[in-house]
Structure 1
Amino acid sequence: MADAPPAVAAARLPPGRGRSVTARTTAGPVMGERRGGVTVFRGVPYAAPPVGDLRFASPWPPEPWTRVRDATRPGPPSLQTDYLPGSSEDSLYANIWTPGTEGSRPVLIYIHGGGWYIGAGSERDYDGARLAIHGDMVVVTFNYRLGALGWGLHEDFADPVTGSFANWGLQDQAALVRWVRKNAAAFGGDPGNITLSGTSAGGSSAWQLALIPELRGIVHRIVPISTKHVWHPASSLSAEESSAVYESIARTFGTTVKGLRRVPAGALKNAWEKEFSGSPVKRAVDGGRGYRGPVVDGHWMRGYDHQLPTPGLPMMTVYARTEGSFFTTGPGFPFPGPHPADDQGLRAAVRDLLCKGAVEVRDEQVEACVTAYREAAAADGLPRDPVSLWTEMWGDGLFRYQIVRLAERHAGHGSSPQYVMEFAHPVRPPYSGTPHEATSKFLFGTHTLPQNAAEYGNGPLERRISDTLIELVATFARGESPNSPNAPAWPEFSPERPSTMILGGARTAEIGTVSKQRQLRYWDEAEWVPRP
C-alpha cells in the first residue's frame, strides 16, 4: 500500500509563490504552480514505488488518492551514487510543464541520460518551462530505475503477472508513455500526439521504445539526441552474463536471487557497482565494459540496434559535432584526468578507449586508430595534438559512427521521414568543441542558468540558437517538416546530397553534409564497433 499523498488545504500555495492550479490524473487530483506563463506539476506518481515485492517487478499503477496532492516539489532521483543527492528506490515520478491545462497541445516526453546509472528528469538542465512556452507544447520529464535495479536480467525475477524479468528501467519508461496517453488531456495535451526525445542513454531509450509493439499507435515520432546505441560488449551484458552477476551478488549476501528483493537497496547498489569497478579486462564478465544498458531479453529488447530495423516513425536524429569532448576535456567530471600529453600517453589512452568496446585489443589496432585519425585530421585541417585526436576517437567510436550509419541505413531502407542535425555550437574554454549533452542546454533554454552560462554562452546568438532548436522540434512534434524562421528549409536526409541541418555558430543554421567522413570510414573497417 503506497503512503498517502501530501494533502493540500484548498489547493493553495504559500504567500509569495505562484498561483495554484489543480489537475485531475487517473489516480487523483494534483496541485501545481502557475508562474511566468507556464504551469508546472512536479513529483506526480506515474507508477507505484518499486520497493519490497515490486523490486525487480514490472511497474504497477500508483495507489489512487482522493485529496489534492501537492505537486510543487520533484520526487527523489532514482537510486544512484554521488551524482545527485537524496536518491531513492521510490522514484517513479513525472514532472509536467504546460502553457495551460486547457487545449490540446503536442506532448514532448524527454528521457534523461546518464549511462543508465545516474541522472534524473528533475535536474535543472531539464527545466521544461522555456521549451513548453516557446514551443507551445506540454513537456514531460521523469525518473526511471537505474543501475542494478533497472537494467539487468534474471529469470528468477519473472513477474507473476507480466512474465517479464528484465529491463525494468525500460518497462518504467513504457509505463510512463502509457500514463501520459491516459493523462495528457488533464494537462492541456493531446493524447493522440506524443513525441519521444532524450539524450545519450535517453536517446537510446526513445529509439528502443519506438520498436516495442505495445507502444505502436501511442508514440508518433522520436527525437533521439546523441544516442548511445546499445551493443555488446560495450554497453550491454549478455543474458547469461547478467544472470551470472545477480547470482554472484546473491552469494555475497548469502541469499538467493529472489532474496535480493530483501537486501538493503544501498548495499545492493554498491555490490553491483563493485562487480564493474576497475579495468574491464579484469572483470568476471566480458560485457558491460563501458556502460550497463538494456539486455536482450526477446521482448523489451529484441536485439541490438544495429541488428534490428530502424523505427518506422518520423525521426529527427541529432548528434553533436564533437561528442567526445564531454568525456575527454576538462575540467573535472566525467573525466578527471590526466590527459595524454605525448605519443605514449595517446596510445595508452586509445588502448583504454578500445577496451571499452572489445574483449581483446591488439597493438596493431591501437596503431591503426592513431594513424587513421592523424591522417584524417591533417587532411581536414583539424588539430593533431593527443587530446584532440583522442577526443575525436571517443566521440566517433562510441556515439557518432552508429548514429550516422543508422541514419544512412534508414534513408535507404526505412519507411518514414527522417531529418538529421549536426549540432555544432562550440562551448567556451577551458572546455572544447561541441560536446555530448550540449544540446540539452539549448533545447530547454537552460544555457542561461548561472552554472551553464560561462560554458555555453548567454548572448543573443546563443538565445537565437536555442529558439531555433525549440522551433524545429516543436514544428516536428506538430507533424510538420521541422522549420524555423532562423533556419533554411530542411529536406529529408539523403547521404548523397547536402541535407544535414548544421545548427550553431555565427550563421545560426545552414544545410550541409555530415562532417568528418574520413574518421567515420575508419570505423567501417576497424572491426570494433558493429556496422549497421
Structure 2
Amino acid sequence: MNTIARRHFLSQLSLASAAVATSGFGFARSGKPDEFIEVEIAPGKIKGVRSDGVNIFKGVPYGGKTSGDRRFRRPAPLQPWTGVRDATQFGAPAIQSPRRNEPAPSEDCLFLNVWTPANDNKKRPVMFYSHGGGFVVGSGASPGQDGANLARNFDVVVVQTNHRLGLLGFLYLDEIAGADYEGSGNMGILDIADGLKWVNENIAQFGGDPNNVMIFGESGGGAKTSCLYAMPATAPYFNKASIESGPGVRMTTKETAAETTAMLLKELNIAPKDWRKLLDVPAADLLVMQAKLPFVAPFIEKNNNRVGMQRNAGGFGPVVDGKVLPHHPFDPTAPEISRNKPLLVGWNEDEYTFFAWERKDTETFKLDFDGLKKKLEPKYGADTDKMIETYRKARPDASAPDIFVAISSISMMGLGSVDIAEKKSKQNQAPVYLYNFGYKSEKKIPGTDYALGTPHAMDISFKFNNEIAPRDGSQPKESFFGGNKPERFVASHHFAELWTTFARTGKPAAKDVPEWPAYNLKDRATMRIDTKCEVINNRFGEELAMWRSIGEV
C-alpha cells in the first residue's frame, strides 16, 4: 500500500478516537452507591463506593508530580497522605482538549481506576486496560470501557490508567538534554509501566492476583500494549496480553524522533542548546503547537519502496531508543522477552466505516467499479488491478463500496495483526490466538444508506460487556455504534467471556462458543466473534496471498 495513504488512515486513529472517547456511548452508568468502602494501600487510605455489587475506586494516584521540573522526566515520588483520600471521582486526564464529564486535563495526570467485585483478598485475575486515542487523547474514564460489568458478571478486577500523552509524554530529548531526561521519548509508556508496578504492589488489597495480570487495549491502546509486551520495565508485572485493532508492529526511530524535536524547537524559535526553555512554555501552548506539527501516526511502514515514501516526522508516540523500548515491538520478530506469555490479537471486520463516519465521508458509498479503481490508484498504483480482481473473485457479491471498506479495513488493522500472529506463532512457545470481530450494527453512516457493520472501536463496549439488557427490565437504550438489535447482548457476552477466560487461564473460551485453536502457520485458525462464533481456517486466504505478493505482509 502507498505509504502516505496508509499513514493517512493511521493518522485518523487519534482524531477519530477522540470522538469516541468523548461520545458517552449511551449505556447506563452504575446507580447510587450502596456504601462507601475504605482500603489501605502503600501511600495511605482511600475511600471508594460499592455500587450494584461492584467496589469502584476512581482517581487513585499511582505516581507523583509530572509538571514543573518533572516535565519530560520520570514522575516525582508519590507522597503519602494522612487521613482517608477520596476515590469517588475520576482523576485529571492528560493534557488534551476538555473531556465530557471529567476533570480539566492536567500535566499531573497519573491516576488510575479500579473495579472489583470485593476487597476480600480473593485472587481474581486482573485485566489492565490501556485506553485508545492514538498516543495523544483519551483517558481511563471513557464510559464505553467502564469496568463494572466485567467485574460483576465475570469475577475479575479491572484497572485503567491515565498517563501522559502527546508531546508531553513522548518528546525525545535524550540527545540534547542529558542523563536526567533519558527515556524522555517514552515517558507516557513508562507511566503505564508504573501503573503495572502499582498493580503488582497493591492489587491484592482489591481482591486481585498480582501474579495473574492481563494487559489489553484497543486502537492506540493496542499499540501501547504492543510496546508493553516488548519492554523490560513491564516484563515482571503481567502474564498475558491482547492487542485489539491497533497492531503496533513498529514504532518511531530515534532519528525520526530527533527530527520531530528539531521541528518543534524551530516552531518555538528555541535553539537546541536552549531546550530548557521548553520547561517554561505553558502546557496549553504546547498543545497548540502539537496540533501545528505535521500529524502522522507513530507507526513505521513495512514497505519503504513505494512512490512517495517520506520520513515519518511530526507524530508523537513511543520511541525505539534501545533502552526503554529496545527494538520495534514485532519487527523483525516477536519479542523474546515475552515468548512465554500468551497473546490475543485481531481486528474488526469493517474498521473503515468508523473513519468514514468521523470524516463525514459519503462519496465512498456512491462508488461504482470504475470509480473504485480511480479511488485506489493513487494509493496502490500498479497493484490496483490485481487488488480489485482478487477481492472481486473472493467476494463475488460485494459492491464497489464493500470492496473499498474491506481493503481499507484490512490494510489499516488486519495486516499488522496477521503479521503479529505469524511472528508470535514462529516462536513455538506460548500460544497466540487470532480473531475477527464481526457483529453487524444496522446503524447507517450519516448521509448514506450504508450500514456501519463492525466499525473501528465498536468492540470496546462489547468486550467490556456494556452491551447488556438493563437489569431493572427497562427498555434498552440504543447503543452508540451497536444499534438496537437485542442480539448484540449475546455477542457482547461471548466477547467478554472469551476475554475474561483468557485473563483467568491464558486460553480464551466461552459457553456456546467452539474451542478456539491457537494460531499456527498451517491452519491459520481465526475466531470470528458474533452472536454465533465460528473458527475459520486461513480466513481471507486469497486476499492475504495477494497482500503478501505485493510485500505488505
Shared fold per TM-score greater than 0.5: yes
Shift of 1:301: 2.0
Cα distance in 2 for partners of 1:516, 1:499 equals 11
Name whichever of 339-348 and 250-259 sits farther off: 339-348
Which of 302, 322, 342 is matched with 1:314 structurally?
342
User: What residue in structure 2 maps to residue 5 of structure 1?
Assistant: none
Name whichever of 30-39 and 269-278 sits farther off: 269-278
Name whichever of 513-522 and 120-129 sits farther off: 513-522
Shift of 1:83: 6.3
CA offsets, 1:225-256, max 9 Å, x none? 1123243xxxx543223223323323433433
Q: 1:17 to 1:133 in 2, by over 3 A?
A: closer
Percent identity between matched residues is: 28
Q: 1:472 to 1:56 in 2, by over 3 A?
A: same
CA offsets, 1:259-279, max 9 Å, x none? 212111111121122111599
Shift of 1:350: 3.8
User: Is the aligned partner of 1:419 residue 2:451?
Assistant: no
Shift of 1:348: 6.6
Shift of 1:122: 0.2
Q: 1:71 to 1:370 in 2, by over 3 A?
A: farther
Secondary structure, counterpart of 1:78 in structure 2: coil
User: Is the aligned partner of 1:483 residue 2:509?
Assistant: yes
CA offsets, 1:292-333, max 9 Å, x none? 4322111222222222424311112232122222223x2xx2
Q: Which amino acid aligns with 2:75?
A: P
User: What residue in structure 2 maps to residue 327 of structure 1?
Assistant: 355
CA offsets, 1:473-494, max 9 Å, x none? 2222122532211212222222
Q: 1:183 to 1:492 in 2, by over 3 A?
A: same
Determine which structure has greater relative contact order: mean sequence separation of CA pairs < 8 Å that are 6+ residues apart, divided by chain length: 2
Q: Which amino acid aligns with 2:460?
A: S
Cα RMSD of the aligned pairs, angstroms, is 2.9
Which of 291, 304, 320 is matched with 1:273 structurally?
291
User: What residue in structure 1 maps to residue 217 of structure 2?
Assistant: 198
User: Is the aligned partner of 1:510 residue 2:534?
Assistant: yes
Q: 1:485 to 1:83 in 2, by over 3 A?
A: same
User: Is the aligned partner of 1:116 residue 2:135?
Assistant: yes
Secondary structure, counterpart of 1:436 in structure 2: coil
Q: 1:237 to 1:217 in 2, by over 3 A?
A: closer
User: Is the aligned partner of 1:249 residue 2:264?
Assistant: yes
Q: How many pairs were matched up?
A: 491
Q: Which amino acid aligns with 2:279?
A: R
Cα distance in 1 for partners of 2:296, 2:436 equals 34
Shift of 1:351: 6.3
User: What residue in structure 2 maps to residue 12 of structure 1?
Assistant: none
Q: Which amino acid aligns with 2:545?
A: R
Shift of 1:101: 0.5
Cα distance in 1 for partners of 2:374, 2:286 equals 33
Q: 1:93 to 1:375 in 2, by over 3 A?
A: same
Which of 161, 173, 179 is matched with 2:198 structurally?
179
Name whichever of 123-132 and 315-324 sits farther off: 315-324
User: What residue in structure 1 maps to residue 159 of structure 2?
Assistant: 140
Cα distance in 2 for partners of 1:149, 1:134 equals 37
Secondary structure, counterpart of 1:69 in structure 2: strand
Name whichever of 51-60 and 303-312 sits farther off: 303-312
What is the correspondence of 1:469-480 to structure 2 with a 5 Å cutoff? 469-480=495-506
User: Is the aligned partner of 1:377 residue 2:392?
Assistant: yes
User: What residue in structure 1 maps to residue 312 of structure 2?
Assistant: 287
Which of 171, 178, 182 is matched with 1:163 structurally?
182
Which of 39, 54, 74 is matched with 1:23 structurally?
39
What is the correspondence of 1:80-119 to structure 2 with a 5 Å cutoff? 80-81=96-97, 86-102=104-120, 103-119=122-138
User: What residue in structure 2 maps to residue 443 of structure 1?
Assistant: 463
What is the correspondence of 1:389-400 to structure 2 with a 5 Å cutoff? 389-400=403-414
Q: Which amino acid aligns with 1:272?
A: Q
8 Å Cα contact 1:247-1:257 kept in structure 2: no
Secondary structure, counterpart of 2:479 in structure 1: helix
Name whichever of 64-73 and 150-159 sits farther off: 150-159
User: What residue in structure 1 maps to residue 17 of structure 2?
Assistant: none
Q: 1:93 to 1:220 in 2, by over 3 A?
A: same
Q: Which amino acid aligns with 1:468?
A: H
Secondary structure, counterpart of 1:266 in structure 2: helix
User: Is the aligned partner of 1:79 residue 2:99?
Assistant: no
Q: What 5-or-longer segments of structure 1 have no aligned partner?
A: 1-14, 355-364
8 Å Cα contact 1:56-1:165 kept in structure 2: yes
Question: TM-score scaled by structure 2?
Answer: 0.81
Q: 1:78 to 1:349 in 2, by over 3 A?
A: farther
Name whichever of 340-349 and 269-278 sits farther off: 340-349
Q: 1:246 to 1:391 in 2, by over 3 A?
A: same
Cα distance in 2 for partners of 1:366, 1:436 equals 26
User: What residue in structure 2 maps to residue 4 of structure 1?
Assistant: none
Q: 1:252 to 1:376 in 2, by over 3 A?
A: closer
8 Å Cα contact 1:58-1:159 kept in structure 2: no
User: What residue in structure 2 maps to residue 461 of structure 1?
Assistant: 487
Question: TM-score scaled by structure 1?
Answer: 0.84
User: Is the aligned partner of 1:433 residue 2:461?
Assistant: no
Q: What 5-or-longer segments of structure 2 have no aligned partner?
A: 1-30, 299-305, 445-450, 471-475
Shift of 1:287: 0.2
Q: 1:451 to 1:520 in 2, by over 3 A?
A: farther
8 Å Cα contact 1:323-1:435 kept in structure 2: yes
Shift of 1:349: 4.9
8 Å Cα contact 2:63-2:75 kept in structure 1: yes
Q: 1:451 to 1:90 in 2, by over 3 A?
A: farther
8 Å Cα contact 1:229-1:399 kept in structure 2: no
User: Is the aligned partner of 1:410 residue 2:424?
Assistant: yes
CA offsets, 1:189-222, max 9 Å, x none? 1111111011122112222212222332321111
8 Å Cα contact 1:197-1:203 kept in structure 2: yes
User: Is the aligned partner of 1:260 residue 2:278?
Assistant: yes
User: What residue in structure 1 maps to residue 62 of structure 2?
Assistant: 46
